[in-house]
Amino acid sequence: MFKIDSSCADLAAAYKKNPLDAYPSPALQKVLQRLRWGNARGRTIVVCTMPAREWRLGKMGERRGMPVELGGQAYNRYEDALWACFRARWREVSGEDCPVE
């Protein structure tokens, strides 16, 4: 299994620069697949709270049918919410903070 750690900092920086890139590098694709792989229980997600104007991070419930728990910070740009979600999932998967701020 592909391991995510601080040696992948360049890939995190590439994602931060363009989170909506339709064709990321193969190495970045591996990181994204690792962050997205597995079941959704307890996973951080991006939730649109005001269409095209506001997004927040949320946590999926531990069981199917449980409500999503919304975070407090609101993002006015979708790209900023994606980056925050990337960093949160990095922490969830690797156990370390993302090396890129």
SS (H, E, C) 27-46: HHHHHHHHHHCCCCCCCEEE
Q: Is residue 53 part of a domain?
A: yes
- Domain tally for the chain? 1
Strands 54-59 and 69-75: antiparallel
pLDDT at res. 33: 93
Task: Determine, yes or no, domain membership for 33.
Answer: yes
Position 99 in a domain = no
Q: Tell me the chain's radius of gyration from C-alpha atoms.
A: 14
Q: What pLDDT score was predicted for residue 64?
A: 86
Establish if 101 belongs to a structural domain: no
Give pTM, 2 decimals: 0.92
Give per-10-residue mean pLDDT for the chain (101 aa): 85 96 94 87 93 96 90 95 96 93 89
Predicted local confidence at residue 6, as pLDDT: 87
Residue span of the structural domain in which 25 resides: 6-94
